[in-house]
Amino acid sequence: MHADRLTNHFTIGQASRHSGVSAKAIRHYESLGLMPAVPRRGSYRLYQPEHIDAIRLIRKAQCLGFTLAELRQLGTVDCTPDWPRFVQALSHKRESIADEIKRLQALDAELAALQATLPGLIANEPDCVALTTELAKA
């Protein structure tokens, strides 16, 4: 990372490049209180390396399936992660994913059954209305 050599601060454009997150998203994270307050020089925000780390952590958590609203619940008053609550949230997220996997596996089984049945129905019921009626019964 290359910060302003005199102050060890980054502009929002630099913060965006270093974190891989758009300036708009960074401003949104700030407005939600997901990251520590960013000092200003005049009208310019001056991001420090810990802000870049916070931005990257937010983005990683989003990639793992956490919403910004969920992340707001996992922070402390000073906008640092509450790590014990974060570990607990990871367990809950994994349980949700396991439930979703079961739901998707059941859906896949239903689709496979339909895929196996449909060619025979088409052969026996070439009429669209009759075929639709048969499918609705299944």
pLDDT for position 1: 54
Query: Hey, how many other C-beta atoms are within 10 angstroms of the C-beta on 81?
Result: 16
> What local confidence, expressed as pLDDT, does residue 30 receive?
93
Q: What is the pLDDT of residue 7?
A: 60
In the block, which residue shows the tokens 């019921």?
Answer: 125
Measured distance CA(1)–CA(34) in Å, rounded: 22
Tokens of 48: 């420090």
Name residue 45's beta-bridge partners: 40
- CA–CA separation, 52 and 31 (whole Å): 16
Which pLDDT does position 60 carry in this prediction?
A: 95
Identify the pLDDT of residue 31. 93
pTM beyond 0.85: no
Instruction: Show the low-confidence residues of the chain (pLDDT under 70).
Output: 1-7, 138
CA–CA separation, 128 vs 122, rounded Å?
A: 9
d(CA 29, CA 16): 12
H-assigned helices in the chain: 12-19, 23-31, 49-63, 68-73, 83-124, 128-137
> 70-73 long-range CB contacts below 8 Å, 24 or more apart?
71/34, 72/32, 72/33, 72/34
What is the pLDDT, as a whole number, of residue 6?
Answer: 45
